[in-house]
């Protein structure tokens, strides 16, 4: 799954992606950027 890295300012493949549920009960995916190691986040079902 791809996500937007704010630090690199590009779309990249999410490393160590895991499905989570936000506080408002909506699905999301969280992981890290493979290049810089910054947290990446994508709202929506995987």
Angstrom distances, CA of residue 14 to CA of 8, 35, 46: 13, 10, 11
pLDDT, tens only, 13-24: 999 999 999 999
Domain map of the chain by residue range?
A: 2-43
Torsion (CA) 4, 6, 10, 11 in degrees, nearest 10: -10
- Decide: pTM greater than 0.75: yes
Start-to-end CA distance of the chain, whole Å, equals: 7
HEC per residue, 6-23: CCCCEEEECEEEEEEECC
Residue with tokens 């989570």: 20
pLDDT, tens only, 1-46: 899 999 999 999 999 999 999 999 999 999 999 999 999 999 998 6
Q: What pLDDT is attached to residue 46?
A: 67
């Amino acid at each position: 799954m791809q996500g937007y890295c704010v630090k690199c300012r590009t779309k990249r493949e999410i490393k160590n992606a895991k499905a989570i549920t936000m506080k408002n009960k909506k699905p999301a995916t969280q992981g890290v950027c493979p290049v810089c190691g910054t947290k990446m986040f994508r709202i929506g079902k995987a």
